[in-house]
Amino acid sequence: MATPSPVKPEVSTARSSTPPVSWAWILQRFSGLLLLVFLAGHLWVEHFMNARVDVIASRLTHGIYDTLDIGLLIVVVYHGLNGLRGILKETLEGRAVWLDYTLSCLGIVTVVWGVDILWAFWYHRPFLIF
Amino acid sequence: MPHKHTRGYKAFWAHRVSGLLILGYLYLHLCLLSAVLLPSGSHDFNAVAKVVEQPIFIVADLVLFAIILVHVLNGLRLIVADFGWMIRENRFAIWLSMAVGAIMVLIAVLTLMPHLVG
Ligand code: HEM
Ligand code: HEM
């Protein structure tokens, strides 16, 4: 805080002057709130109910844990990549022609990968070979 | 991006960096899970579980928890601000969210203490 700034508005939140209200903007907040529930649940389960691989396997035969894992997976991938999209949009300024396409593909691949990992528990075999 | 000397500048960067770090962790997490959980995976889950019970990994776990708290609590503050609340008290809101985070990390440290000391 060495040099005093000429611009020091009374009111400032951690973003540029007017927040652009778009679907991406709204869904970033909405997914953030959903994540609060999913992530708190996940961290609780993994720290206080986690044990050996057979325990995880038997846990995953109860729908509630699959729902927790897949819900967390989808929401965290959406929120993280949508956040990354915002940062890259700001940095690349219009040079980001393939950005949405690339990040959507990355998101879909990540969710398929995550489901594939859990799939092993339901059918005792890999869905794809990774 | 907020101006360098406005309030919330540091909070802005803390939010951005913590979000990216957790996103990076997610991919590490999926790599490890696919290596240990898939039948075709290359490692034995229980052997890896033994390794990650060592104190150094418990510390890493606490660091991750702290990074998550920075992002989550600041994210909640931003959502509250979007509703028009606590904007003038912005400095207090940042301070409050980080104080809550510090208390939660402290509780986590105390909870995991048995694993840390042996
Ligand atoms: C350090 C604490 C953590 C531990 C010990 C942990 C452990 C695990 C384990 C053992 C699983 C396997 C499935 C199950 O148990 O139901 C899992 C799944 C998962 N974890 Fe974590 N986790 C941690 C933190 C996180 C964080 C911070 C995130 C979010 C960035 C996350 C995201 C996920 C996701 C999305 C899945 C589902 C994976 C899939 O669909 O294949 N975890 N975690
Ligand atoms: C668990 C509760 C969470 C909440 C309440 C939350 C909240 C938010 C909010 C409100 C924003 C928008 C900030 C803005 O536009 O000014 C945001 C951005 C972001 N979040 Fe989260 N978040 C959470 C978890 C996560 C997780 C687990 C990840 C990582 C996978 C993540 C990654 C990001 C990224 C990369 C951004 C973009 C940051 C930027 O634009 O500078 N968040 N978060």
pLDDT tens for chain B, residues 1 to 118: 677 766 678 999 999 999 999 999 999 999 988 887 766 666 777 788 888 888 899 999 999 999 999 999 999 999 999 998 988 888 899 999 999 999 999 999 999 998 888 6
| A50 or A13, higher pLDDT | A50
Average pLDDT over residues A69-77: 96
The predicted complex's ipTM stands at 0.89
Q: Determine the pLDDT at residue B9.
A: 85
Residue A55: its pLDDT value, please? 78
Tens digit of each residue's pLDDT (9 = 90 or more) over A37-66: 999 999 998 888 866 777 777 787 777 888
pLDDT score at B53: 82
Backbone angles phi, psi at B4, to 5 degrees: -50, -40
Does residue A24 have a pLDDT over 70? Answer: yes
- pTM here is 0.88
pLDDT for res B42: 67
**pLDDT for A130:** 43
Q: pLDDT band for position A1 (50/70/90)?
A: very low
Buried b (16+ CB within 10 A) or exposed e, B15-38: bbebbebbbeebeeebeebbbbbb
Under DSSP, is residue A12 helix (H, G, I), strand (E, B) or coil? coil
Residues 69-128 (A) with a CB less than 8 A from some CB of B:
76-77, 80-81, 83-84, 87, 90, 110, 113-114, 116-117, 120-121, 124-126
Q: A14: closest CA among B98, B91, B100?
A: B91
Q: Which amino acid type is present at position A47?
A: H
Closest CA to A72 of A114, A104, A102, A113: A114
∠ CA A80-A36-B35, rounded to 5°: 55
| A61 vs A27 pLDDT, higher one | A27
- Alpha carbon nearest to ligand 1 atom 40, residue: A114
pLDDT at residue A2 above 90?
no
Q: Is B86 left (phi over 0), alpha (psi -120 to 50) or beta?
A: left
* pLDDT at residue A64, rounded to an integer: 83
Can you list the domains of chain A with their CATH numbers?
23-123 (1.20.1300)
Burial class of residue A95 (count of CB atoms within 10 Å of its CB; 0-12, 13-18, 19+): exposed
Which is nearest to A117 in space by CA: B23, B46, B51, B40?
B40
- Read off the pLDDT band of A103 (50, 70, 90): very high
CB-defined site of ligand 2, < 6 Å: A 14-15, 28-29, 32-33, 35-36, 39, 76, 79-80, 83-84, 86-87; B 15-16, 19-20, 22-23, 26, 71-72, 75-76, 78-79
At A10, the pLDDT band (50, 70, 90 cuts) reads: very low
